């Protein structure tokens, strides 16, 4: 879902850069207060995993593929602001080293896959676990729901930016993006659930870390 350069107009590029810079600045400030010793290796491993897993595009319907985003997983384990930091590291590296996502579109990509995906994934997970109970079952269902919602909303945000930029009419691009990513979100939900279930078995203490 990495937007290349050329899809967004100047106003959208500027707005998303300002909002994302503010979001990342705030994430740094909050992490500076709350990040502890135990968070550090998990931040490293999650950034690594998200990068590697994002390379593994999986096929969905009609000659189309989707890839894991990972913001919901990071937000569930570490909290939404830590997730914004991780996603920013991944997206900046993808943009500058791997030419995935445009330089001008970086602000929008951090906004969609970092900020929107982290916060929607986190709060949908919280909502689901408060309704279903915070046991293993509640956590796994919450993880699926949070992950699905994070991809769906992230794609919708992307579509709105494309529409505002005049690239494609809103009535065309929003349903198209939302439709494909409703399917891709199922993959996101399954991967997030699988990793959460692995962590719950192998290192349940990592799920209990203070959220940043």
Partner 1 sequence: MKIKWWHVGLLACLVVACLSPLASSSPDGLERVAENKGFIDLGREAPFQIIADYVFPGMENEALATILAGLIGTLILFGVAYGVAWLLKSRKKEPAK
What residues numbered 180-209 form the site for partner 1, per CB under 8 A? 180-181, 184, 202-203, 206
**Closest distance to partner 1 from the beta carbon of 130 (Å):** 28
Q: Any idea which residue has 């290192």 for tokens? A: 203
**Closest distance to partner 1 from the beta carbon of 159 (Å):** 8
Nearest of 1, 13, 91, 79 to residue 50 by alpha carbon: 91
**Closest distance to partner 1 from the beta carbon of 58 (Å):** 6
Residue 51 burial (10 A CB sphere; 0-12, 13-18, 19+):
middle
Size of the site for partner 1 (CB under 8 A): 71
Q: What are phi and psi of 100, to 5 degrees?
A: -110, 110
Instruction: Report if residue 177 touches partner 1, rule: CB under 8 A.
Output: yes
Instruction: Report if residue 33 touches partner 1, rule: CB under 8 A.
Output: yes
Residue 115 burial (10 A CB sphere; 0-12, 13-18, 19+):
buried
Q: Which of residues 35-94 bind partner 1 (CB under 8 A)?
A: 35-37, 39-53, 55-60, 62-67, 82, 85-86, 89-90, 93-94
**Closest distance to partner 1 from the beta carbon of 94 (Å):** 8
Q: Which of residues 130-149 bind partner 1 (CB under 8 A)?
A: none
- SS3 state at 211: coil
């Amino acid at each position: 879902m990495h937007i290349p350069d050329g899809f967004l107009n100047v106003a959208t590029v500027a707005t998303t850069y300002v909002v994302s810079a503010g979001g990342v600045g705030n994430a740094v400030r909050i992490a500076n207060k709350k990040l502890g010793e135990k968070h550090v290796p998990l931040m490293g491993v999650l950034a690594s995993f998200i990068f590697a897993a994002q390379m593994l595009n999986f096929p969905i319907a009609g000659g189309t593929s989707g890839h894991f985003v990972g913001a919901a997983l990071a937000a569930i384990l570490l909290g939404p602001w830590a997730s914004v930091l991780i996603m920013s590291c991944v997206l900046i590296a993808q943009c500058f080293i791997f030419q995935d996502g445009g330089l001008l579109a970086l602000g929008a990509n951090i906004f969609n896959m970092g900020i929107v995906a982290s916060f929607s994934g986190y709060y949908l997970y919280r909502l689901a676990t408060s309704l279903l109970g915070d046991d293993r079952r509640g956590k796994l269902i919450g993880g699926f729901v949070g992950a699905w919602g994070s991809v769906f909303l992230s794609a919708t945000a992307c579509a709105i930016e494309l529409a505002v930029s005049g690239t494609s009419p809103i009535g065309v691009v929003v349903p198209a993006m939302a439709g494909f990513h409703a399917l891709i979100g199922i993959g996101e939900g399954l991967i997030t659930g699988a990793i959460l279930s692995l962590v719950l078995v192998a290192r349940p203490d990592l799920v209990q870390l203070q959220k940043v």
